[in-house]
Chains A and B, each alone.
Chain A
Amino acid sequence: MSNINQAGSADEQQAPGALVEWEQRVAGYAGEPPFVEEPQRLSAIAAALKDAAIAAAIAAALFLFFIGFRTDIAIGGLDLTTRWQAFGTAIVVVFVGRLLFRILLWRPATKAGTRPLLLRAFGSGEGTPLSEHFARHSKSVGVVALVAAVLYPVIILALFPMKDKQFIDLGVLVLTYIMLGWGLNIVVGLAGLLDLGYVAFYAVGAYSFALFAQFFEVGFWFALPIAGILAACWGLILGFPVLRLRGDYLAIVTLAFGEIIRVVLLNWYTFTGGPNGISGIPDPTFFGLEFARGDDNLPGLLGIGYDSAYKQAYFFYIILALAMITNLVTLRLRKLPLGRAWEALREDEIACRSLGINTTNTKLTAFAIGAMFGGFAGAFFATRQGFISPESFTFMESALILAIVVLGGLGSQMGVVIASIVMIGGFELFRDFAEYRMLIFGLLMVIIMVWRPRGLIATREPSAILKERQTISADMVAQGEGH
């Protein structure tokens, strides 16, 4: 007994050194306010301006000869031309660039308290305003995003009659990746199983619809559930051999699985058409009505006249509905024992087993359900393109989907949406600079991963119903073991 008392009293009586340190710290807090005063920020901006001006002056001195003058070979010697406009532009670029760099990114060496603006907004250090904002308003953000998505084709049709097809098509593409991201989020984000071959299920879904359409002439709506079920079966087939694997090893096996599916599709010429792919995949109908010319078809019956943009809009609403189903199922499952078990599995597999959770079944259901949504998306992809070939199901696709999930924040539904819009929308935006595209995206990914190592939205929404919500940023929580 005595040792307990001793230990207790030793606890209370701190070492003299610690006490002095503590008092010093308290004294340190007492004096100054814990925030930075306004003049200091002004002076920080003034310093940044000065710094930018110096940089611009150096640039001017250098560029005068590099850019300002141009020599061409002419008869009787060299011909000197001046290029004051380019010279001026270069100096302005240097000035503005340096200024922005200084204000937004750099931590000024002089004063520790003044954090640069961008770091304050996105920093993963003390406050994490972005993710906490989302955590607090996630419901309303979701509703707004959904309303925006529903109105998107209407707005595009009204505002951009010339480019409507292109814009709606872009929306369809983004939504397809959102759906794939949500599907993969079940496997990677919730269950914590790193899957690098997700595109395999996308391919299975696409080929099951295409082949069913080719051999049995079934329509999209009939083939959709079949594609999902077949993809889920393949999810189980992948799941069994990898049950004991985690992390890196799992990633390699799933990567191989994705390649196997693609190579089989490529080489099984008699069945899949090999590299020629399958064409003539039918469009989805609307309760038996088609989106085509003619009075018997839907546009004719509605009396709105044929416009191929309407078909695009129909595709848009189909994929929106499919994606929302994926989302709702995921959100619902998270609150059920199965979804809980997935998340627990991600956190700690041994603890899971010690609580009587059958980890085998839990992993297999994660693979199967994730694969099923991949299959749905694949069937949709087939009907939208009308033509599929193994070209569409390369490892790049898997990597892109995984990048969307990781950048968005593992397990975060809204993160996937944002990451999809940024990535896919960005890809289209930079189509003109195709050769720099990968460079820009590589850079973007590195930057996001440095600033927000757990993805854009790292806050995990608790699934238990709480009276009051208190979120603690995931950045402050140690990573669960096992992956």
Chain B
Amino acid sequence: MTAQNPLLAVEGVETYYGNIIALRGVDIAVFEGEIVTLIGANGAGKSTLMMTICGNPQARKGRIVYDGEDITHLPTHDIMQRSIAQSPEGRRIFPRMTVMENLQMGALVTDGASFDADLQRVFDLFPRLKERQHQRGGTLSGGEQQMLAIGRALMSRPRLLLLDEPSLGLAPMVVKQIFEVIKDLNREEGLTVFLVEQNAFHALRLAHRGYVMVNGQITMSGTGAELLARPEVRAAYLEGGRKEAAE
């Protein structure tokens, strides 16, 4: 895991919405087997970076390299067929489809040969989904929907999992449970995870490395523990209702 090429490299990426610049030259590297997190305040550009990696919107400058291949200008569906899976912001499960159908949608890009094994794996990770496999996605609770979104992403057997704010709007216990699963996936299967989070404390504790984004630029990077210890990070993202948590 040391001096190899990163699995995902974002190099000097600039993204615009119309004429408004959202990302001002972002550099990020994610190595195989790592959990890397990106934290930042609302509107810092975290989700924009996630979307740019997925090709919608596409970067106007810079490159995005996945597994040695330049994917900067590929259409979204092409990118998502390259062993990258995403659990999008706001979960975006299919509300009128059953849990089972949602999971099948995740496996649509595979050849289907390993479907049963993949399904079993998701059910092992999230037993709640197994209980609710016949239920419609829209009737699940928020936490279950997030489990479903992650499970759906895992159904395509990704090497790189992109998670966009999995803790959004969830109870602390559920967040803990979901982060536990991400940790297990990484530790036991070597799944590479790129995690965009507002919940800086949890994300930095989980991640091997982290980046801090402010106003479309990366201002700090380091290991999770390092960033957690930095006074700027604590001042900006942790203290304020969480004083004792950071200790």
Output the residue of A356, A472, A478 with the most chain B CB within 10 A: A356
On chain B, the residues within 8 Å of A2 by CB distance are 244-245, 247
On chain B, the residues within 8 Å of A469 by CB distance are 134
* CB of B231, distance to nearest CB on chain A (Å): 19
In contact, B134 and A353 (Cβ under 8 angstroms): no
Instruction: Pick from B54, B94, B98: contact of A344, CB below 8 A.
Output: B94
On chain A, the residues within 8 Å of B54 by CB distance are 353-354
The stretch among A4-12, A195-203, A383-391 that forms the contact with chain B is A4-12
How far does the alpha carbon of A470 sit from the alpha carbon of B137 in the complex, in Å? 13
B100 at the interface (CB under 8 A from A): yes
Q: Please provide the chain A residues from 434 to 483 with a CB less than 8 Å away from any CB of chain B in the complex.
A: 460, 462-464, 466, 468-470, 472, 474, 476-480
Q: Please provide the chain B residues from 78 to 97 with a CB less than 8 Å away from any CB of chain A in the complex.
A: 80-81, 85-86, 88, 92-97
Instruction: Pick from B77, B93, B136: contact of A353, CB below 8 A.
Output: B77
* CB of B200, distance to nearest CB on chain A (Å): 13
Q: A354-B80, A472-B139 are in contact. Are A462 and B173 (CB under 8 A)?
A: no
A351 at the interface (CB under 8 A from B): yes
* CB of B204, distance to nearest CB on chain A (Å): 13
Instruction: Pick from B81, B98, B156, B245: contact of A3, CB below 8 A.
Output: B245
On chain A, the residues within 8 Å of B156 by CB distance are 355-356
In contact, A347 and B96 (Cβ under 8 angstroms): yes
On chain A, the residues within 8 Å of B106 by CB distance are 355
Instruction: Pick from A3, A11, A357, A478: contact of B171, CB below 8 A.
Output: A11
In contact, A466 and B100 (Cβ under 8 angstroms): yes
How far does the alpha carbon of A340 sit from the alpha carbon of B172 in the complex, in Å? 34
B223 at the interface (CB under 8 A from A): no
Interface residues on A, range: 35 or more
In contact, B98 and A462 (Cβ under 8 angstroms): yes
In contact, A340 and B176 (Cβ under 8 angstroms): no
Output the residue of B80, B96, B242, B245 with the most chain A CB within 10 A: B96
B21 at the interface (CB under 8 A from A): no
Specify the chain A residue showing the minimal Cβ separation from B149.
A351
Instruction: Pick from A468, A474, A479: contact of B134, CB below 8 A.
Output: A468
On chain A, the residues within 8 Å of B134 by CB distance are 462, 466, 468-470
Q: A359-B77, A480-B95 are in contact. Are A340 and B104 (CB under 8 A)?
A: yes
* CB of B58, distance to nearest CB on chain A (Å): 13
* CB of A467, distance to nearest CB on chain B (Å): 8
On chain A, the residues within 8 Å of B137 by CB distance are 477
B101 at the interface (CB under 8 A from A): yes
* CB of A289, distance to nearest CB on chain B (Å): 47
In contact, A478 and B80 (Cβ under 8 angstroms): no
In contact, B176 and A4 (Cβ under 8 angstroms): yes
In contact, A7 and B81 (Cβ under 8 angstroms): no
On chain A, the residues within 8 Å of B172 by CB distance are 3-4, 7-8, 11
B63 at the interface (CB under 8 A from A): no
In contact, A355 and B98 (Cβ under 8 angstroms): no
In contact, A343 and B80 (Cβ under 8 angstroms): no
A341 at the interface (CB under 8 A from B): yes
B108 at the interface (CB under 8 A from A): yes
How far does the alpha carbon of A95 sit from the alpha carbon of B90 in the complex, in Å? 56
B76 at the interface (CB under 8 A from A): yes
B105 at the interface (CB under 8 A from A): yes
* CB of A119, distance to nearest CB on chain B (Å): 23
A358 at the interface (CB under 8 A from B): yes
A337 at the interface (CB under 8 A from B): yes
In contact, A464 and B108 (Cβ under 8 angstroms): no
In contact, B104 and A464 (Cβ under 8 angstroms): yes
In contact, A341 and B100 (Cβ under 8 angstroms): no
Q: Please provide the chain A residues from 343 to 370 with a CB less than 8 Å away from any CB of chain B in the complex.
A: 343-344, 347-348, 350-351, 353-359
* CB of B179, distance to nearest CB on chain A (Å): 10
B135 at the interface (CB under 8 A from A): yes
How far does the alpha carbon of A476 sit from the alpha carbon of B136 in the complex, in Å? 10
* CB of A345, distance to nearest CB on chain B (Å): 10
B46 at the interface (CB under 8 A from A): no
* CB of B109, distance to nearest CB on chain A (Å): 4
On chain A, the residues within 8 Å of B136 by CB distance are 472, 474, 477
B56 at the interface (CB under 8 A from A): yes
On chain B, the residues within 8 Å of A340 by CB distance are 101, 104-105, 108
In contact, B108 and A477 (Cβ under 8 angstroms): no
How far does the alpha carbon of A351 sit from the alpha carbon of B101 in the complex, in Å? 14
* CB of A61, distance to nearest CB on chain B (Å): 55
Instruction: Pick from B97, B100, B109, B138: contact of A355, CB below 8 A.
Output: B109
* CB of A351, distance to nearest CB on chain B (Å): 4
**Which residue numbers of A lie inside 8 Å of B, CB to CB?**
2-4, 7-8, 11, 337, 340-341, 343-344, 347-348, 350-351, 353-359, 460, 462-464, 466, 468-470, 472, 474, 476-480
A/B interface sample: 10 pairs, CB < 8 A: A3-B172, A343-B94, A347-B97, A354-B80, A356-B109, A463-B101, A477-B95, A477-B96, A477-B136, A477-B138
Cβ-closest 7 pairs across A and B: A7-B172, A356-B80, A477-B138, A3-B245, A351-B92, A356-B109, A347-B94
Known: A2-B247, A356-B109, A357-B77. 18 other contacts (CB 8 A): A11-B171, A11-B172, A340-B105, A343-B94, A347-B94, A351-B88, A351-B92, A351-B94, A354-B54, A355-B85, A355-B105, A355-B152, A356-B77, A462-B134, A464-B101, A466-B134, A469-B134, A477-B138
